[in-house]
Amino acid sequence: MKLGFLTACLPRLPLEDIAAWAGEHGYQALEVATWPSTGSRDFEAAHIDVAHFGEGEAERIRALFDRHGLVLSALAYYENNLHPHEPRRREIADHVRRNVDAARLLGVPYVGTFIGRDPGLSVKENVALAERVLPPLVEYAGERGVKLIIENCVMEGWHPDGYPGNLAYSPELWEWMFSLGFYLNYDPSHLLWLGIDPVEALRPYVDRIPHAQAKDAQIDPRARVRYGFFGRTLSRQDPWDVGWWRYRVPGLGQVDWRAVVDALYEGGFGGVLSVEHEDPVWGGDETRVKQGLEIAHRTLRPLIVD
């Protein structure tokens, strides 16, 4: 197992600077963000431009990672592959394919994304849609030696009422998406606030988890009494502001990281544990984000065996 982080938390830094910092601060891997460089949303980092990518660029990036003693664990493009607007859905699928092509040139085995959801359809209708439109993406990746890994993020902000916007949030749905040929990019933080035991949920599926993310969550039981499980309603100004929990860097929430890492080892996991930094306390500027990554490293690195 190696410890890395997802580069999306540093969207304004070039990959060269991120790799240098990661190597200097004891990280062993990077999960590299590959959103299109539209600049429309701050968190959509474009650290590799997969839309204009060739062997020369692949050689440059491989040399960069070798220079800093790092592994490129996965390319990361987490978007709604069941987007309700069909032309936008096709754009997203095309960008997933470009990620796969870049991963093949780089020798990277995984591309991370979401299942997603059309919020205007029922879950049953979304399942039928997914079974129609997603297998060609899995097949395209498989033909090029790449696996598509799905993060189990709820993406509640994608739904107008705060319901799950990514149909990959529970073990029941994991088994369904495994049947389509996907793998799981396991993140325990989402399970914690859903009331699912992150360790017990993990144990039966380690063989379908080639890559994992490390994010923590902090729950406020008193706020949950006021708002209920589904979170703020009348007072919700931000679709992502549920009001009774928030993401934290590992070590500052309530995930039992010793138990999570132990269960991964027990199940034979040998991939990368990638910190996904979305902590509002240790965010807002480059200095605080890096301090948050240092907190995560101090929490997790002692648990990983060289």
Question: How do residues 119-175 score in pLDDT, each as one tens digit?
Answer: 999 999 999 999 999 999 999 999 999 999 999 999 999 999 999 999 999 999 999
Backbone angles phi, psi at 286, to 5 degrees: -60, -40
153 torsion bin: left (phi>0), alpha (psi -120 to 50), beta (else): beta
- Give me the residue spans of the domains in the chain: 2-303
Among 212, 215, 229, 224, smallest CA distance to 269 is for 212
Helix, strand, or coil here: 43?
coil
What pLDDT shows up at residue 43?
Answer: 52
> Is the distance from CB of 138 to CB of 148 less than 8 angstroms?
yes
47 DSSP assignment: S
Angle at 305 between CA 19 and CA 75, to 5 degrees: 35
What pLDDT shows up at residue 108?
Answer: 98
What pLDDT shows up at residue 38?
Answer: 62
- CATH number for 2-303: choose from 3.50.50.60, 3.20.20.150, 3.40.50.720, 3.30.230.10: 3.20.20.150
Show Cβ contacts of residue 228 under 8 Å, excluding neighbours closer than 6 positions. none
pTM: 0.96
What pLDDT shows up at residue 37?
Answer: 76
Low pLDDT (below 50) residues in the chain = 39-42
